[in-house]
Amino acid sequence: MALIVQKYGGSSLASPKHIQIAADRIKALRLSGAEVVVVVSAMGHTTDHLLKLAAKTVKVPPSRELDMLLTAGERVSMSLLAMSLQERKVPAISFTGSQSGIITTSDHSQAKILEIRPQRIQEELQKGKVVIIAGFQGVSREKEITTLGRGGSDTTAVALAAVLKAERCDILTDVEGIFSADPRLVSKARLFEKLTYDECLELASLGAKMQPRSIELAKRFQVKVWIGSSQNSQGTGTKVGFENGEDKMEKPSIKGIATKDGFHYFSTKADLKSLADFFQASGSTLRFFNQGSDRTSFLCEESQVESLREFFRKSESDYQEIEKVSIVSVVGEGVSNSKDVLPKCLDALVTIGEPNLILISNSLSLTIAVPSARKALLTQLLHKELIEKEF
């Protein structure tokens, strides 16, 4: 009997009606003969609501207590979904992360999974039950409740699929899969039927709707992942790791134009090593940077901006800052070696009347930083030139 792990995101569980639709889908899968393990996120914007609630209550919420608070969201989802399945005569039981045997590091709000002890899950599966697990959470070896950080439910699902040797892991969201660009920006964005792990990982790290951490885990343990809509029963979606892509011989295989918002641009004469030390101390990685003859330019996420400004003030370093910056990335095998991609990117920048703030390439992507107001136009131009003409 095949074992399938399914993960339902917050938008897929946003209301009682959404939960009922998920229950119907799970029932159909169970009746097809599959064993089913379900991982759930908190309903809708519950996590954001709980964070705001904590911020209104205290100035600095203690990390331990914040984890205790946030894990309540997934517990609501798992309980309601179990109730809905039981009403449909489908035997089901819900478990928290700790009850599921998910053992993590003790780092509150950003814990890593160390191991999973799935005995209780396996016992309930043997009884014919659907097992519903609260994502995003686990327990440390010190018996403290922990959370895995944003997107932790995807990581939970893939990790469970690896340990349970599932046939595949379904990530069910509010979109039909991974597209060649954000469909809200590009009307002709193409839904990918399949991607390699590396292609999906690069798209995810640069803004596509998938968590890079979960794809890294899927690649390491060779977990097959299907990404699709929880509201669509037609089966369309994106398969990751099922088989190789359909690359054209001797041509760069451009997979998509990924976008990501929420950056600030900085340019400074501060020493690069001191900058690297700052980012390391804050638990972040210095990405998207260019080092010129006398200045270093880089991008910083919103959450790091205030502490970075304080660093510049204390070190008395001169710096320039531009707010509301986005990255637009061309992703695909052979991008950096192509004689066509870079010129077309530069032509597009001329067309929109913007110099690039930062331009970085590697074997799988070429990334451009531009003011957020120009993101949509640049994405549309690059998609038309690099992808639509290759359809």
pLDDT of residue 127: 98
Of 82, 81, 80, the closest CA to residue 93 belongs to 82
pLDDT of residue 249: 47
pLDDT in tens, 192-220: 999 999 999 999 888 777 889 999 999 99
pLDDT of residue 246: 52
Average pLDDT, the chain: 91
pLDDT of residue 361: 85
Residue 327 within any structural domain of the chain: yes
Q: Are residues 159 and 23 in the same domain?
A: yes
Residue 200 within any structural domain of the chain: no
Query: Which of residues 145, 174, 203 is at a domain's end?
Result: 174
Reported pTM: 0.88
Q: Supply the range of the domain harboring residue 141.
A: 3-174
Q: Are residues 55 and 166 in the same domain?
A: yes
Q: What is the C-alpha R_g of the chain?
A: 22
Residue 188 within any structural domain of the chain: no
How many separate domains does the chain show?
2
Residue 251 has pLDDT above 70, yes or no: no
Q: Are residues 126 and 17 in the same domain?
A: yes
Q: Are residues 148 and 257 in the same domain?
A: no
Mean pLDDT value across residues 369-379: 95
Q: Are residues 169 and 266 in the same domain?
A: no
Q: Are residues 11 and 158 in the same domain?
A: yes
What percent of the chain stands above pLDDT 90? 71
Where is pLDDT greater, at 23 or 387?
Answer: 23
Of 116, 85, 62, the closest CA to residue 8 belongs to 85
Residue 152 has pLDDT above 80, yes or no: yes
Residue 123 within any structural domain of the chain: yes
Q: Are residues 35 and 165 in the same domain?
A: yes
For residue 261, what are the CA distances in angstroms to 206, 212, 271, 302, 339?
A: 10, 16, 27, 10, 28
Residue 90 has pLDDT above 70, yes or no: yes
Mean pLDDT value across residues 323-336: 89
What is the bridge-based pairing of β-strands 145-147 and 289-291?
unpaired
pLDDT of residue 114: 98
Residue 66 within any structural domain of the chain: yes
Domain with 299 in it: what CATH number?
3.30.2130.10
pLDDT of residue 247: 52
Q: Are residues 154 and 262 in the same domain?
A: no
Domain with 165 in it: what CATH number?
3.40.1160.10
Label residue 86 left, alpha or beta by phi (over 0 means left) and psi (-120 to 50 means alpha). Answer: alpha
Mean pLDDT value across residues 284-313: 85
pLDDT band at 391 (very low <50, low <70, confident <90, very high): low
How would you label 169-190 residue by residue, b for 16+ Cβ within 10 Å and e otherwise?
bbbbbebbbbbbbbeebbeebb
Instruction: Estimate the crossing angle of helix 272-281 against helix 305-315, to 10 degrees.
Output: 140
Query: Which of residues 147, 174, 201 is at a domain's end?
Result: 174
What percent of the chain stands above pLDDT 70? 96
Q: Are residues 283 and 163 in the same domain?
A: no
Residue 208 within any structural domain of the chain: no
Query: Which of residues 174, 189, 220 is at a domain's end?
Result: 174
Where is pLDDT greater, at 285 or 90?
Answer: 90
Residue 375 has pLDDT above 50, yes or no: yes
Residue 244 has pLDDT above 70, yes or no: no
pLDDT in tens, 64-86: 999 999 999 999 999 999 999 99
pLDDT in tens, 92-142: 999 999 999 999 999 999 999 999 999 999 999 999 999 999 999 999 999
Residue 323 within any structural domain of the chain: yes
